[in-house]
Structure 1
Amino acid sequence: MSKIALVTGANQGLGFALVEGLARRLGPGDVVYLTGRDADRVAAAHERVTGARAEVRTRLLDVRDGDAVAALARELHTGHGGVDVVLSNHYLRTVPEDTPAEVIGPYVDANNLGTTRMLRAFLPVLRPGGRYIVVSSALGRLRRLPPELHPRFDAAGTLEEIDATMLAWRDAVLSGEAAGEGWPEFVNIPSKVGQVAAVRVLARQRRTEDLANGRLLVATCPGMIDTASSRPWFDMTGAQTPQEAAVALLDLALDPGLDPAFYGELVQFGKVLPWP
């Protein structure tokens, strides 16, 4: 059976490197979907793909549009019987000059609610042996938040509860109450914690069935990457190129061996990063 892969946020940076890497490592008859929310950028990215053995197809996808996410999942289920690899890589960037209250609405909508929309739509069509990978960050460990905020994530039992926590954080930023509640000023930290927490919630629900069917659900930290999103925030000395960073993620997505210890965890370079 042909393998079907999908990458969100794929028109540049790590997302593009993941598409190109998948297209080179998969074979004829396999299909890689390159997705993004801007038609011109998606088309231009498709033209830049080189060395592909698998077919690369493009789709417009804005993860802030729940109907569009669900429709694409239905399309892949109807056309291919499901999907084998999902790399949930989308990211709405911010820069240090941004005022958090002015960007927090679309930021949470894309990076957090977009992540849970993808999980809801595509996990049900992940075929046996499939890999669902949420690209997150080492900042997504619960230890990055003060202890008083930990129960908001650890006690959550559903994606709806995780979404509610992220929306409550958004509202606290908008009202100016976030610092008083203990939320860090750097919005990337709560957002990444929310992504990893969403994976952990679903992993508790799905672990037995998924492992029995060879599926892997995991969050990953690709390490420091020299991209337009990272440069305004961090010193890029020693940072990886997107192509270098893609290697470990592609290995995780395509290695037929399944390490049960990775399931539901945050993984970086083949090691589980502790959550608590």
Structure 2
Amino acid sequence: MNAASLFDLSGRTALVTGSSAGIGFALAQGLARAGATVVLNGREPGRLTLAAERLRRDGLPVHEMAFDVTDSGSVRPAIARIEDEIGPIDILVNNAGMQFRAPLEDYPEDAWHALMKTNVDSVFHVGQAVAQRMIQRVRGKIINICSVQSELGRPSIAPYAATKGAVKMLTKGMAIDWGKHGLQVNGLGPGYFKTELNRALVEDKAFSDWLIGRTPSRRWGELEDLVGAAIFLSSDASNFVNGQIIYVDGGVTASL
């Protein structure tokens, strides 16, 4: 086996949740360019269709499946439909997530529950539904999107950090329980990236200057910076990598 073939995803099907825009879309695009057939997911069919059309214009193999990843009653029939109509899911990227910023003493209870449901419950529901089928095939790759906030806190985002800490430990638990069945479950932890959700931070000169000075690589992350690690964790190159979190953060978690 040559080095290039280790990273070849041809013939594999990848489901990427929350992939109509931002990090999820970039990862889906990267996996498709590496050879995978990609299934885009989100709750809004119109946005999914627009995202899929962008990939199809590049000649990439893509399907759409709109369902609510926080609702187990929606997840299981959607996973069954993907496997029946498109093919067995070889790669799952649990990317769906949300953010809400507020001082902890004033944090709304409904925002807390929404954050937990979107960022943690979805990983459990989709991960379990897909893993049950992967276990029968004795193979599969699951990538849970963590964050530098899986390790580090920031003002006004304590609940978000709590969710990403939970995803980190759920990732390790999945690897422990499912590794014996031939699955590899790892986390990908982005640092601060230029996305639509972060536009206000990117345009805040004081914050941006602070972040660039705080980051050993001295810049914001670009979405393409995440693709290589995602392909690695999806491919045969990572067949003995399990329960690990790879931080793609320009060195933020390495430095005080």
- When normalised by structure 2's length, the TM-score is 0.76
Q: Distance in 2 between matches of 1:201 and 1:12?
A: 29
The aligned counterpart of 1:24 is 33
Q: Distance in 1 between matches of 2:173 and 2:27?
A: 26
Contact 2:194 2:221 survives alignment (8 Å) = yes
1:186 to 155, 158, 171: 158
Indicate how the Cα distance of structure 1 residues 25 and 258 shifts in structure 2: closer, same or farther if over 3 A, else same.
closer
For the aligned residue pairs, the C-alpha RMSD in angstroms reads 2.9
Determine whether 1:257 maps to 2:237: yes
Q: Distance in 1 between matches of 2:193 and 2:157?
A: 22
Contact 1:31 1:55 survives alignment (8 Å) = yes
Count of matched residue pairs: 224
Q: Distance in 2 between matches of 1:34 and 1:40?
A: 12
Q: Distance in 1 between matches of 2:65 and 2:242?
A: 29
The aligned counterpart of 1:14 is 23
The aligned counterpart of 2:171 is 199
1:224 to 184, 192, 211: 192
- When normalised by structure 1's length, the TM-score is 0.71
Q: Distance in 2 between matches of 1:119 and 1:31?
A: 19
1:242 to 212, 223, 229: 223
The aligned counterpart of 1:159 is none
Q: Which moved more, 1:108-117 or 1:1-10?
A: 1-10
User: How much identity, in percent, do the aligned residues show?
Assistant: 21
Q: Deviations over 1:158-187 (max 9, x none)?
A: xxxxxxxxxxxxxxxxxxxxxxxxxx9621
Contact 1:96 1:232 survives alignment (8 Å) = no
Deviation at 1:51, TM superposition (A): 6.3
Deviation at 1:246, TM superposition (A): 2.4
Deviation at 1:14, TM superposition (A): 0.8
Q: Deviations over 1:21-48 (max 9, x none)?
A: 122221xxx5210111112211121222
Q: Distance in 2 between matches of 1:259 and 1:67?
A: 32
Determine whether 1:118 maps to 2:126: yes
Letter in 1 for 2:171: V
Indicate how the Cα distance of structure 1 residues 240 and 50 shifts in structure 2: closer, same or farther if over 3 A, else same.
farther
The aligned counterpart of 1:166 is none
Gap runs ≥5 in structure 1: 146-183
Q: Distance in 2 between matches of 1:209 and 1:190?
A: 29
Determine whether 1:135 maps to 2:115: no
Deviation at 1:53, TM superposition (A): 4.8
Deviation at 1:7, TM superposition (A): 0.5
Q: Distance in 2 between matches of 1:57 and 1:227?
A: 23
Letter in 1 for 2:191: G
1:82 to 53, 74, 88: 88
Letter in 2 for 1:56: V
Deviation at 1:2, TM superposition (A): 3.0
Gap runs ≥5 in structure 2: 1-9, 202-206, 213-218
